[in-house]
Structure 1
Amino acid sequence: MLELAGTVLMTLGAGFFVAGTIGLLRFPDVFCRLHALTKADGMGLALICLGAAIAAPDWGETLRIVLIWAFVALASATGGHLVARHARRAGALVLKVRA
C-alpha cells in the first residue's frame, strides 16, 4: 500500500514538472516564465520527495530525502530571486496580456 501511495505521489510530482516546463515554453515574459517554473517545480519536487520518503525503508534515508528537498528548495528560491533581480535591472519588460 505504501508503494502505491509513493508511486502516485511521484507521478503527480512528475506532472507538476511537466506543467512547469510547459509554462516555461508558453508564457510571454521572463517573470511569468520564472513564476511558472519555480512554483510548479517546487511543488513537483515536494511531491516526489514525499513519495520517495514514504517508500524509503528506514528513517535515515527519509532524513536524507528531507534534507535534499530543503537544500534544493532554498537554492531554487535563491536562484529564482537572482534571475528576477537581474532581469529587472537589465530592463526586461513585463508584457501585458489582454483578456
Structure 2
Amino acid sequence: MPFYLEIIICICLLIGGIFLLIGSYGLARLPDIYMRLHAPTKASTLGITGVLVASMVYQSHLKGAFSVQELLITLFLLITAPVAANMIAKTALHYRTKALDRTHGQELMETIRDRESPKPPSES
C-alpha cells in the first residue's frame, strides 16, 4: 500500500476517533436530554463518517475499484441521525420532560407543545 494512502487513512481514523470521543464525552457529561441530543447527533455522526471514509479508501485500494458499501452506510447515517434526534426531542416535549434552568429556548418549548396540527387544504 502506498505511503500517501496510509497517511490519508490514519488522518481519517484520527479525526473520526477524536469526534467519537468528544461525542461520547458530551453524552456522558451534559445534564439534560435537550443538551444531550447535540453530542451524539453532531460529533458522533462526524466521527463515524471519518472512520467510514478511512474504510472506504482502504477497501477501494484492496479491490482496485471504488467501494460503494461504506459510502451508502455513511449516507444512511447522515440522513437518519438528525431524524432520530428530532424524534427524541419531540418525545421529550410530548412527555413534558423538564429542562434545566440554564437550557436556552425554554419559552419555545411551551409554544411547540401547545401548537395545533396543520389543517389539510380541503378543510380550510
Assess same fold via TM > 0.5: yes
Q: Where does residue 118 of structure 2 map in the other structure?
A: none
User: Which of 1 and 2 has higher RCO (CA within 8 Å, sep 6+)?
Assistant: 1
Give the number of equivalent residue pairs: 97
Kindly provide the CA deviation profile for residues 46-89 of structure 1, in whole angstroms up to 9, marking residues without a partner as x. Answer: 2112222222223342x111101111222222211111110111
Decide which structure has the larger Cα Rg and report it: 2
Q: Where does residue 9 of structure 1 map in the other structure?
A: 12
Q: TM-score, normalised by structure 2?
A: 0.70
2-structure distance, mates of 1:46, 1:97: 32
- 1:16-95 equivalences in 2 (<5 Å): 16-56=19-59, 57=61, 58-61=64-67, 63-95=68-100
Kindly provide the CA deviation profile for residues 3-34 of structure 1, in whole angstroms up to 9, marking residues without a partner as x. Answer: 12112211220111111111011111101111
Instruction: Tell me which protein shows more helix as a share of its residues.
Output: 1
Unpaired runs of 5+ residues, structure 2, are 104-124
Q: TM-score, normalised by structure 1?
A: 0.85
Unpaired runs of 5+ residues, structure 1, are none
After the TM superposition, which segments of 4 or more aligned residues of structure 1 sit over 3 Å from their partners? none
